[in-house]
Amino acid sequence: MEKPLSIFVGTTNHVPFGADDGEFEMVYTRKLKPFIIALNNFPKIKAALHYSGVLLHWIEKAHPEFLMLIGELVSRRQVELIGGGFYEPLFPLIPAQDRIGQIEMLTTYIRKQFGKRPLGCWLPAAAWDQSLVGTLNTCGMAYTFLREEQFLQAGLSGEDLYAPCVTEDQGKLLTVIPVLRRLTREAKAGSVFSLLEQEAARTPSGAGRLITLCPDCFAEDHDAEETGLTRFFEDLARAEPFADFITPSAVARIKRRRTRAYFPPSSELSFAGKDPKGAASPTMASPSMASPSMASPLPAKTPKQLLLRYPEANGIYAKVMHTHLLIHQLRGDKARKQSAQEELWKGQGYAAFCHTEGGGIFRNTVRNAAYRALVEAERTTRKRGVFIPSLMTFDFDLDGEDEYLFQVEHINCYVKARGAAIFEFDFIPRSWNYLDTFSAPSDSASVPAARRMSFADMLAPVSIPLAALAGTDGIPGGVRVCSGEDWDAGGADKVKKKAAFLLGPRADGPFAAAALRKEYHLKRDSLTVRYTITNRGAEQLICNFIPRIDLSFPGEDDRCLRIFRLLPQGESPSKDTEKSAPPVSREALVPDPSGVITGSASAVEFQDLKNEVIITLTADRIFNAAIVPVRVPAPVYGTETPLYQSTCLLPAQTLDLAPDAAFTAEFILKLLSH
């Protein structure tokens, strides 16, 4: 006689690409090892495990004995391994070829390591699109999992929430197994055995309910993980008289009439806990703690809405799409193409697109790793001796407007037409994007956070402290933010890699009479930016001109970054309007307790110690400057920690222009690798 309940126990495990060994070790010690040790003591209880390829690769190097233990559990059919994308991507965000490639990469790894091919696929953040049916079917995946809320969105309810369903696309079929986090929360609040007993009593005769339990949250006391999980499994064992323990492949094989359903595009992001910007948190191992009162200003109900919620996510997505096209244009060199593809896949991990319980997109280390992989993939596509420097205009960031893409041997410099500012600045020899920063949260219900850019120009009253213009707490009133205005194209020379932009006077607003001309000129290892500012009004124009520059480094402490001020020999720092000779004196700068540096210079030098790169900003005259660290608060493993994002340099030159008078300025950003 069939028992009332079939219990499926599952756990998902991933550490984002780019995390350090300490983070991997913490997850291994607090989560992976206690679960397997506790499970091993209850041989009648079966479990399904998902480990991302990133995590499996680290375990293989750091704890190979752990893989042997998992292999034993697989051999005795107590554990079933679930496949997925090797680098844990959000599948709806990546091209079909990359979906298949990532799934097959993890499938091959599991088959070689454990001798069995996975039959099911885990979807990070439960990110769903109906077109995934064909992808998973092509990869030999028989089943996947979606959340209870997604079943409800598909019109399923009642007993259909306790049974797998079948879904279809273009004639391909897939079994979808419901994951009821609600039951895990209820079990945690009370007794696992009592919950199961009640579910068995409520099960209609002959129905046979499928119960999914994710025991990760039973091990929140970091000093007693194994004890908490042991209690969990003890309660499960007590339920054996009215429950069978089953694996997901067995669920998929059961020949029983199933409801057919079609699921709308969705993900955990629609109903999980909220992040500091108000968006949803796609935590996979923790139950949803969302409250109806926690309104999201720009909710990410589908994965692609993340690209609207976070402009930084859209930047990575655009880079993924661009790099994908470059790779698939390669011909005749399979090894180079394969190497570039794997680097591309490294940059597709879901943590770089959304907030997770470990910080996700808020963490510069996660974004840095994604960009490093994507730039390295692009570098791999450039055949030595064949690459031709170029200046192109096309819609890189997929917003319907063309951007200017300067590409030379060592530098990519991408300029947004609106604002005439740089939104990506890649140093190819180190595969590093020096504009991988993150903006402060937006409180507006209709406007996403503004993406931070470099050479983002402002005209500000001389009374406003420069550090206040870094934008970490918003921009003070009375400032003309030229980087937020529409500039006109002023001509481009694709041979010399030059492009100019024009901004006319405004009808009203702060410093409305100013007209600006701005020209970018990219060379092999340097960028020159020239300005002409003209007073088109009838009154004197007095203000500070600040081309704000963000540079993203691996960190802000002296192990990662050192900053120097350069001044002409024999000149006083107070002479800020005279033409200067080449800088010859260097002074190391030490931030104040808040991390801010102020002073005068004719050049500022940044030593990126991790990447072994020196970046120097030189001006044609002495300028006043503020250097401000950009930090954004984000919950990281339960604590709200301000995370370093970038270093903001604000070089200011004071304008005092009579009507029709003009001011010129030139800045050179030079990069030198050791």
Q: What is the C-alpha end-to-end distance of the chain, expressed in Å?
A: 73
Query: Could you name the CATH architecture of 434-673?
Result: Distorted Sandwich (2.70)
Domain(s) of CATH 2.70.98.10: residues in the chain: 434-673
| Burial category of 254 from C-beta neighbours within 10 Å (exposed 0-12, middle 13-18, buried 19 and up) | middle
- DSSP of 174-217: EEEEEE-HHHHHHHHHS-HHHHHHHHHHHSPTTT-EEEEE-GGG
Q: Which residues contact 503 (CB under 8 A, 6 or more apart)?
A: 420, 482, 485, 487, 488, 515, 516, 517, 518
Closest of 670, 554, 552, 569 to residue 622, by C-alpha? 569
Q: Which residues, 6 or more positions from 388, have their beta carbon under 8 angstroms from its beta carbon?
A: none
Choices 3.30.420.40, 3.20.110.20, 3.30.70.260, 3.40.50.2000: CATH for 5-235+249-270: 3.20.110.20
Burial 93-104 (b: 16+ CB within 10 A, else e): bbeeebbbbbbb
Q: How far apart are CA 670 and CA 581, in angstroms?
A: 17
Query: What single-letter amino acid sits at 588?
Result: A
* Portions of the chain given CATH number 3.20.110.20: 5-235+249-270
Contact 464, 479 (CB under 8 A): yes
What separation in angstroms does the CA of 330 have from each of 336, 338, 380, 434?
Answer: 9, 10, 10, 27
- Of 523, 517, 564, 565, the C-alpha closest to 545 is 517
10-residue averages of pLDDT along the chain (674 residues): 86 94 94 93 95 97 97 96 97 97 98 96 95 96 95 94 95 94 76 89 83 68 63 91 93 84 87 41 31 37 86 96 95 91 97 87 95 97 84 95 96 96 98 93 56 97 96 92 96 94 96 98 96 97 98 96 88 48 79 93 97 97 96 78 94 97 98 92
3-state secondary structure of 253: helix
Please give the pLDDT value at position 570. Answer: 63
Q: In the structure encoding, which two tokens stand for residue 523, read together?
A: 């060379």
Q: What is the CA radius of gyration of the chain?
A: 28
pLDDT value for 466: 96
Q: Model-level pTM?
A: 0.91
| Residue 143 confidence (pLDDT) | 96
What is the C-alpha separation between 57 and 75, in angstroms, rounded? 20
| Biggest distance spanned by C-alpha atoms of the chain | 96
Among 115, 116, 91, which Cα is nearest to 103's?
A: 91
Predicted local distance difference test score (pLDDT) of residue 387: 84
Closest by alpha carbon to 372, among 400, 399, 412, 343? 343
